[in-house]
Amino acid sequence: MQTKQRLGKQEILKLFENGCKTEQTIGLEYERLPISPKNLKATDYENVCEFLRKFAKEENWDYITDDYNIIGLKQEHDTITLEPGSQIELSIKPENTIFELKEKTDKLDKFMKPLLDKFGISLLNYGVSPLSTNKNINLIPKKRYMIMAKYLWGILSDVMMRETAGIQCCIDFQSEEDAVKKFKIANKLSPFMTAMFANSPVRGGVDTGYKSFRALSWLNTDNDRCGFTGLIDNINSFEDYADFVLETPMIFYIRDNDTIPLNGKINFNRFMNDYDAEIEDFELHANLYFPEVRLRNFIEIRNHDCVGKGLQYSIPAIYKGILYDNSAMEETEELFKIFDYNDFSELRYNVPKTALNTRIGRYFVKDISKEILYIAEKSLISMNTGEEKFLDPIKEYTLQGICPADVILRNWNRCWNKDVRKLIEYIKE
Q: How far apart are CA 324 and CA 21, in angstroms?
A: 13
Question: Mean pLDDT, to the nearest integer, of 397-412?
Answer: 98
- DSSP one-letter code for 117: H
Task: Specify the 3-state DSSP secondary structure of 15.
Answer: helix
pLDDT confidence bin for 370, thresholds 50/70/90: very high
Name 351's bridge partners.
none
The reported pLDDT for the residue numbered 346 is: 97
**pLDDT per residue as tens digits for the range 31-45:** 999 999 999 999 999
Domains within the chain, CATH numbers bracketed: 25-248+289-427 (3.30.590.20)
**Orientation angle between helical segments 311-323 and 98-118, nearest 10 degrees:** 160
Nearest Cα to Cα of residue 172 among 159, 182, 158, 186: 182
Predicted confidence at residue 2, as pLDDT, reads 46
Cβ–Cβ < 8 Å for 135, 156: no
CA 192 distance to own-chain centroid: 15
pLDDT digits (tens, 9 = 90+) for 132-174: 999 999 999 999 999 999 999 999 999 999 999 999 999 999 9
Strand ranges for 154-238 from DSSP E: 167-171, 202-203, 206-207, 226-227
Q: pLDDT at position 321, please? A: 98
Instruction: Evaluate if residue 270 carries a pLDDT over 50.
Output: yes
Q: Is the pLDDT of residue 1 over 70?
A: no
Determine the average pLDDT of the residues in 320-343: 98
Nearest to 100 by CA among 320, 306, 291: 320
Say how many C-beta atoms besides its own lie within 10 A of residue 385's C-beta.
Answer: 14
Q: Would you say 295 and 179 are in contact if contact means Cβ atoms under 8 Å apart?
A: yes
pLDDT digits (tens, 9 = 90+) for 181-213: 999 999 999 999 999 999 999 999 999 999 999
pTM, rounded to two decimals = 0.97
Tens digit of each residue's pLDDT (9 = 90 or more) over 17-73: 999 999 999 999 999 999 999 999 999 999 999 999 999 999 999 999 999 999 999
What pLDDT is attached to residue 429?
73
Q: How confident is the model at residue 4 (pLDDT cuts 50, 70, 90)?
A: low
If you average pLDDT over residues 361-366, what whole number do you get?
96
Strands 26-35 and 88-95: antiparallel
Q: How much is the pLDDT for 101?
A: 97
Pick from 15, 38, 18, 145: which is nearest to 86 by CA?
145
Residue 6 has pLDDT above 90, yes or no: no
Q: Confirm if 307 and 211 have CB atoms less than 8 A apart.
A: no
pLDDT at 257: 85
Q: How far apart are CA 148 and CA 157, in angstroms?
A: 9
**pLDDT digit string, tens, across residues 81-100:** 999 999 999 999 999 999 99
